[in-house]
Amino acid sequence: MTDTPESPAPDARGDRGGGLKSDRLSGLVLLALAGWIVWLNREFPVGTLADPGPGYVPLLLAVGLGAIGLLVALFGGDSQPLRDIRWTEARRAVVILVACGALTFALERIGYRLSVFAFLVFFLGVVERKKPLPMLLVAAGFSMASFYVVADLLGVPLPRGPWGF
């Protein structure tokens, strides 16, 4: 039997590269997320194109996300199988997710500016290992500038913390 260009040569185990590919899994996850958003959105009135309700844009975004997820799941077979992927950055990803979770709990307790400053100091200083002075300047500048833009210019209320800061 001769191999065609479309089918990869079997490896030592006789496997032809089957199995779930990472692109296809990503597409299925996006499709599931879109379905969950549509399900959550059922509580809001959608309205019409001329008079959209609060559920109109989330439904539109979920349909777009679902379409993209479906396209990726159907046509995304060029990536390597999941079993061949080495998760070398898994510990780093977990640290970042835990830091994001800590940030969400800290926002109401110590306020936006201090929470974002502490998060960026941790992320840039510990995770990324940047030099202290640039790291502190970026953390202070971003926490102050983002608060100014979002809270003062856009008028979105952000938590100020117990010290009003």
Q: What's residue 10's pLDDT?
A: 47
Which whole number is the average pLDDT over 130-147? 95
Would you say the C-alpha torsion 70, 72, 76, 82 has a positive or negative sign?
Answer: negative
Tokens of 44: 């809001």
Please tell me whether residue 52 adopts helix, strand or coil conformation: strand
Instruction: Indicate yes or no: pTM above 0.75.
Output: no
The string of pLDDT tens digits covering residues 17-56 is 567 888 999 999 999 999 999 999 999 999 888 999 999 9
> Does 66 have pLDDT greater than 70?
yes
> Does 129 have pLDDT greater than 70?
yes
| Residues pairing with 52 in the sheet | 47
Better-predicted residue by pLDDT, 77 or 4: 77
Q: What's residue 6's pLDDT?
A: 53
Name the nearest CA neighbour of 100 among 120, 76, 130: 120
Q: What's residue 18's pLDDT?
A: 63
Asked which of 3-7, 39-43, 140-144 is least confident by mean pLDDT, the reply is 3-7
CA distances from residue 164 to 18, 75, 85, 110, 118 in whole angstroms, order as listed: 58, 52, 47, 9, 17
Which whole number is the average pLDDT over 56-79? 93
Residue 122 near residue 143, CB atoms below 8 Å: no
DSSP state of 128: S
